[in-house]
Structure 1
């Protein structure tokens, strides 16, 4: 299957789609106002050393000075890692220039939190310029895989990164030696560039920021299977090609400028796919469907046969729908970037062989996912519990906000229910206020329903001997109303 990366550049937004076999598999979005500072490297100047707090305030060019604690500082050479840190005044003095990295964004009245223990993340590795050791992420639990990765890095590091420490990230699990070597070369070139800029820059200067999305894809998405990267902005295309020429030479020839008549995300229906990814219901080709609900605690995915009735018997129909659903589920998890705890409610299968078949199919489909997943067998209730590593905000969180009408509940009161609420509120107001009449302000559907049920209002008017007027307000949400004593 052909694999392409489409890059759409807007005035304040960059969007990237990974398309495999003509179908969008991943969507990445970066907006100008949502850039974070974590990971940025600055050349700073020490403004104040605080022995009582064992910390210092450092000017890195932001609105507020940033905070650097002694525990986040590089130890003097030869000092054991488990030894207590030396006094901060022995490490820093006012006016000293220091290379720092932000580990926590500014919040409220507090400045950013800094470290001098700089780390540079790549696709599979994290480079530690000031710590020389080889390690593997504790999240990779398979002992054989941990040993394989350590052997690969110990073989590559002496020739490619002899002066730096490297750690295999979780994403390195199952990565080839060639891919790890490629990542190591990239990080070595990146650190050399940072050192050069740091030497040339003045204090308070940003030396290295996380790559913009259009370039970050070369680190996160680019591999041998990607045939081409198409970018719809000539200027950005040139910048990415120049970046690739220095840091990812093998990708340079696969980057091309898109100048077609149709918007680039109309290719392969990517724009439509984004819209469908915001809906709860996902149609399956057989006629079945998924219902996806994302909540704060977890995401649930329900599989239904829908209009699919099969051709032979119920068990065959259920099995075919569930097998098709495994492909759709794996794709939707990537497309929507759903992470955390995920509960899958497949259609009940009494046959144990069928359950095992569906579980194997799901694990096979999830194997293509770069984010780490962990799948548990079917529970006694027939559910599959799984987790998927959160790598970034979900598509829904980026593109949508809580509905102002329902407050995120996903439903609102019916017109009839609101009419009954109004009647009760009129009774409360009649007992509380000695007014001549009442004015009810409500949405057009509610006012129309009250007029249809005029008998109820007549009873209230007779009971309290005061007239009730209705006023339709087009901007009122259906649940909202006001009862005004007049």
Structure 2
């Protein structure tokens, strides 16, 4: 089908149904969220400082879900309680990555404790910005989140454009209420104060494009999404011309580009451009991050700038923080991508796709 389609369903798992959300665009899988037992990004803990790691400039923390690691610690002593938020998924055998810079994120608003000010997404037209700022001021008038020595700020997201003002105002108030409740609960033993959003809640929060929504049980299979998910098990991705192979190792993710049967002079550049345009989507669907090494197809050095431009443009449409590190002496191109998701290979089970 044409257009966007959001599927909210459950897949069978070893311990029961697993919450799953899929976003399709023109029949192609654009995004995929599958729940897991790991602490979800966005989860907020009241943690306790455990022991410093001087060589890394950080500290291990005690949480109800195990050890967490906080970077760039200053003035924190073992035994002190503090509020932290999960920023991503931990690699095997490593501590949960957390930060003290809390964000309370919803569909229309983000409350930013310790960073005062009211801001509106630059993607919103100038004509609507003043109306949204006035709406935000009215919604938070007299709210305790803006009072005190360390007031919070508010960011109105691009999804506010064209939204019902009453829904936006309600979302602002509910998000601010949650922030105030959590910030007032900073003292005490280690405890989970909020749970990060699951796939369905994340889909509501982040997939704000105009789309049809299907929540019927079995909708993933009905719309052919299971076959699209199954295809992600293969490292081979067809591009035009040729294909790319995406393979994860313990140290890095290797992406190899092959022009296939195209032997023209421009084949290398065409294949590399096709890879660049589809790479963020493939990494997102497969849940891959860390060091990404691209073994591009042979092309003249003068074409490198065109390749970098296409890759930069594609990454701008992706929400995962990715650093374009550049070329190596061997002609490889390297990226550093935040591990914001678990690898799909670790989430999929035989029961899910049978």
2:341 pairs with one of 347, 369, 392: 392
Residue in 2 that maps onto 1:230: 214
1:299 pairs with one of 230, 253, 258: 253
Residue in 2 that maps onto 1:4: 5
**Alignment partner of 1:18 is 2:23:** yes
Deviations 1:34-89 (A, max 9, x none): 455973579xxxxxxxxxxxxxxxxx9x899xxxxxxx9xxxxxxxxx9999xx9x
Deviations 1:148-186 (A, max 9, x none): 9xx99x9576444454312669xx7xx577499987862
* Larger RCO, structures 1/2 (Cα 8 Å, 6+ apart): 2
* Contact 1:341 1:388 (C-alpha < 8 Å) held by counterparts: yes
* Contact 2:257 2:295 (C-alpha < 8 Å) held by counterparts: yes
Q: CA deviation at 1:290?
A: 1.0
Pairwise mapping of residues 303-382 of structure 1 onto structure 2 (< 5 A)? 303-306=257-260, 308-309=261-262, 314-350=264-300, 352=302, 354-382=303-331
In structure 1, what is the Cα distance between the partners aligned to 2:340 and 2:21? 15
Query: For the structure 1 residues 385 and 267, does the alpha-carbon distance in structure 2 shift closer, same or farther, using more than 3 Å as the test?
Result: farther
Deviations 1:105-148 (A, max 9, x none): xxxxxxx9x9999752346865256x572499xxxxxxx99xx9
TM-score (norm 2): 0.63
In structure 1, what is the Cα distance between the partners aligned to 2:42 and 2:311? 35
Q: CA deviation at 1:281?
A: 1.9
In structure 1, what is the Cα distance between the partners aligned to 2:108 and 2:324? 22
* Contact 1:161 1:188 (C-alpha < 8 Å) held by counterparts: yes
In structure 2, what is the Cα distance between the partners aligned to 1:377 and 1:116? 31
* Contact 1:5 1:16 (C-alpha < 8 Å) held by counterparts: yes
Unaligned 5+ segments in structure 1 are 43-59, 65-71, 73-81, 93-99, 105-111, 137-143, 234-262, 402-486
TM-score (norm 1): 0.48
Residue in 2 that maps onto 1:280: 235
**Alignment partner of 1:218 is 2:173:** no
Higher share of residues assigned helix: 1
In structure 2, what is the Cα distance between the partners aligned to 1:305 and 1:115? 43
Query: For the structure 1 residues 25 and 267, does the alpha-carbon distance in structure 2 shift closer, same or farther, using more than 3 Å as the test?
Result: farther
Higher share of residues assigned strand: 2
Aligned length: 290
Pairwise mapping of residues 181-192 of structure 1 onto structure 2 (< 5 A)? 186-192=171-177
